């Protein structure tokens, strides 16, 4: 059974802290997940599973956006709805 009650502030802080450490590690190691495995486990154990899924998607999106921007392509959303 997954505990679906919202995490309290302390739990949220622990989750965000673990996420930030993991993301920094991935940034430093050029996305080498193996080098950050211990932080990944800590992240997964401190965050609700829904959040883990959300943050993973969020990171992929941010990386993708950064890549596009560094290649000089800006997503159409920036220019308003067509």
pLDDT tens track for 37-62: 999 999 999 999 999 999 999 999 99
Instruction: Evaluate whether residue 59 is within a structural domain.
Output: yes
* Total count of domains within the chain: 1
- 72 band by pLDDT with thresholds 50, 70 and 90: confident
- pTM for the whole structure: 0.76
Would residue 76 count as lying in a domain? no
pLDDT tens profile 2-38: 555 778 999 999 999 999 999 999 999 999 999 999 9
Backbone angles phi, psi at 72, to 5 degrees: 85, 15
Chain center to CA of 45: 14
pLDDT at 1: 45
> Within its chain, how far is the Cα of 70 from the centroid?
20
With cut-offs at 50, 70 and 90, classify the pLDDT of residue 75: low
User: In the predicted model, is pLDDT for residue 73 greater than 60?
Assistant: yes
Q: Answer whether residue 1 is part of any domain.
A: no
| 47: DSSP letter | S
3-state helix, strand, coil in the chain (%, to 5): 75, 0, 25
- Structural domain including 36 reads 9-69
């Amino acid at each position: 059974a997954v505990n679906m009650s919202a995490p309290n502030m302390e739990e949220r802080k622990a989750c965000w802290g673990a996420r930030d450490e993991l993301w920094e590690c991935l940034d430093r190691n050029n996305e080498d997940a193996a080098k950050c495995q211990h932080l990944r486990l800590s992240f997964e154990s401190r965050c609700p599973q829904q959040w883990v899924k959300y943050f993973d998607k969020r990171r992929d999106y941010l990386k993708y956006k950064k890549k596009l921007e560094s290649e000089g392509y800006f997503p159409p959303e920036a220019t308003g709805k067509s």
